[in-house]
Structure 1
């Protein structure tokens, strides 16, 4: 069998490298700094993860707050970063920066050449719209005003007590185990992304209103490009796996890694199917509509979405190749929306969250 060079050592790149090595492919993982710590928290709906995914914590129930509360009958899982990082002995890890692709591999900045079929897994870079967030970890007891035991708060769109713009943001609260909870102020989508200082101000205001002290130490900072064109021959976020309406991509990468590894082993092209490309285009259309909504319309939009049947919610949030399910969910969401919001969906003009706001 031939060799594979995976460029990028994040969750997607490592997942693909593991699967390639399991098939007996000579596998090299190239990363600028393979030992750097992962500060991001990766999570997903538990039923979207493949069997054997490295789960750290599972909350058996989830909740969303728009202008009303929605209780969801889906478990939510937080992934174990240390196990996500693990690689078998069959993967050679090379620290270096790729400066060029060659006919047979890649050339690094120090002149070394690594041979094999190249797959880029370096993440999404660029784009105009982004999801941004700032979070802190607090003891579970301190998080009780926001989230209960064995629960994940996916979105709480109630306005924070302090803010300097009208851009909508929500609180995201998930258990991390060991009596810890991540509380994160999140801007779901904005063009450009909402600046981190604004998110930090809002998060601190939310916590202060409930007497929760902001802990000393590291904060989690998130910036996820949402509308980057997929790169040919790529994998993970670089290949368009980021869901434009949620920012999620890791669960898809974990599910897709075995199939992509088999394609590489068999010498087949690595890329998205026609249904996947169409679904991604529809979801980008949904992102455009979301960006066009007035700030006060966004919580109502998610009220409408989470009133849909659970199979419609799953179709839109999950499988990137489910064209029929995605189309059905979008049509039903249009059907339950009021006419002003329908107009935003059909004729998404320049976003109100872009005009006249700093950042």
Structure 2
């Protein structure tokens, strides 16, 4: 019997497995394809995960720009993750089992995890880190990208060392994301911020190819397809503990989750180890509390409110909204994008946006007016 069994071999699952093993808990990770490389491109702000080692960083762009209707130089270091380096950092100390979970049965003394091939694993605590699944109609962020040689991508960004975090110029239906990968190539991605359901990838591919053709480029490189479920609510407490995207750790208004998941792995493991002798039900409750204190639930609700407000704006208004957001002080930008338990900072960022917005934007943010009074 393992102390902890975790389903899902991505960054979230491996981060938690490593953290639990370091706390002396025997840990088993279930991964459907343990040898498969991580092909997604992960980006994060350096201040979100200061413990990230150099070996897990593929590129640190010299500067990061964003465009609404005008350019904004962002005063935060943006990083591109080296997937092999991240995986190496998160590996070790736990057992990896190839397989997929078919079902879980919880009992007074632990849980039985049934795999699709018939095997059963006994666990003191079962964690689902297998990703978010759309249930009904949820907001999704979708993107279609290609990897180009850096010299070609210069036609879309002023330097191969510049990251363009968001570029709304030339389209009100979505933005362009330009990210140097540190190996002489650049990811160029057409992104739909949020829709319910997500914009089809085929349509985004057509838009990207048209954008590239207008710059005299072809989309002949490696392709990348992205679909992120955004508005996962904070989970109810139960014997199965969700983690990563399955736990609603994706930021509802940005789609980012990797840094948050990796950062939260240690606090969750510490909480679990501290009450391990109290039995499976109390261990699961401790994990839930570590993941979702009341402050985090409040901020998550505010972020989901922000998502709905963004999706209710007419397309021509969205770039203006982001002009206002990127004109905020860096501390307020950081509070909204990265302050997961920062209720005052999140409220102040949303309130500042409302105060500075013209009526054509403000009328879509009416619900934000009461945020300062309710803080």
Q: Which runs of 5+ in 1 are unaligned?
A: 161-166, 349-359
C-alpha separation in 1, matches of 2:37 and 2:243? 21
Count of aligned residue pairs for this structure pair: 341
Q: CA deviation at 1:2?
A: 6.7
Runs (4+) off by over 6 Å: none
8 Å contact kept, 1:289–1:346? no
Corresponding residue of 1:145:
155
C-alpha separation in 1, matches of 2:92 and 2:13? 16
Please say which of residues 224-233 and 58-67 is displaced more in the overlay. 224-233
Corresponding residue of 1:289:
309
Corresponding residue of 1:190:
195
C-alpha separation in 2, matches of 1:323 and 1:2? 37
8 Å contact kept, 2:14–2:91? no
Corresponding residue of 1:230:
234
1:312-351 matches, cutoff 5 A: 312-346=332-366
Q: CA deviation at 1:114?
A: 1.3
Q: Map Cα deviations across residues 221-276 of structure 1 (whole Å, 9 max, x no partner).
A: 00000112333421111111100110000010111111111112123411200000
For the aligned residue pairs, the C-alpha RMSD in angstroms reads 1.7
Corresponding residue of 2:279:
none
C-alpha separation in 2, matches of 1:308 and 1:229? 27
Q: CA deviation at 1:120?
A: 1.0
C-alpha separation in 1, matches of 2:92 and 2:165? 37
Q: Map Cα deviations across residues 7-32 of structure 1 (whole Å, 9 max, x no partner).
A: 11111001111111122210100122
Q: Map Cα deviations across residues 137-195 of structure 1 (whole Å, 9 max, x no partner).
A: 111110112221321100110125xxxxxx62000001101211000000011111011
Corresponding residue of 1:108:
115
8 Å contact kept, 1:125–1:228? no
Q: Map Cα deviations across residues 76-122 of structure 1 (whole Å, 9 max, x no partner).
A: 10111112223544211111121221232311122212122111111
1:72/1:89 CA distance change after superposition, 3 Å:
closer
8 Å contact kept, 1:170–1:187? yes
Q: CA deviation at 1:35?
A: 2.3
C-alpha separation in 2, matches of 1:21 and 1:246? 31
Corresponding residue of 1:59:
61
C-alpha separation in 1, matches of 2:299 and 2:204? 31
Corresponding residue of 1:171:
176
Q: Name the SS of the counterpart of 1:185 in structure 2.
A: strand
C-alpha separation in 1, matches of 2:165 and 2:38? 22
8 Å contact kept, 2:160–2:186? no
Q: Name the SS of the counterpart of 1:44 in structure 2.
A: strand
8 Å contact kept, 1:50–1:255? no
Corresponding residue of 2:169:
158
Corresponding residue of 2:373:
none
8 Å contact kept, 1:8–1:31? yes
Q: What TM-score does the superposition give when structure 2 sets the normalisation length? A: 0.87
Q: Map Cα deviations across residues 44-84 of structure 1 (whole Å, 9 max, x no partner).
A: 11111131342211113110011111111211101111122
C-alpha separation in 1, matches of 2:306 and 2:266? 29
| 1:280 aligned to which of 296, 300, 311 | 300
Corresponding residue of 1:83:
85
Corresponding residue of 1:93:
96
8 Å contact kept, 2:128–2:243? yes
1:2/1:197 CA distance change after superposition, 3 Å:
closer
C-alpha separation in 2, matches of 1:52 and 1:212? 35
| 2:322 aligned to which of 298, 302, 312 | 302
Corresponding residue of 1:354:
none
Corresponding residue of 1:264:
272
Greater share of helix residues, 1 or 2? 2
Q: Map Cα deviations across residues 307-342 of structure 1 (whole Å, 9 max, x no partner).
A: 111100000000211111001100001111112322
Q: What TM-score does the superposition give when structure 1 sets the normalisation length? A: 0.91
C-alpha separation in 2, matches of 1:273 and 1:56? 33
Corresponding residue of 1:15:
15
Q: Does 1:239 align with 2:247?
A: yes
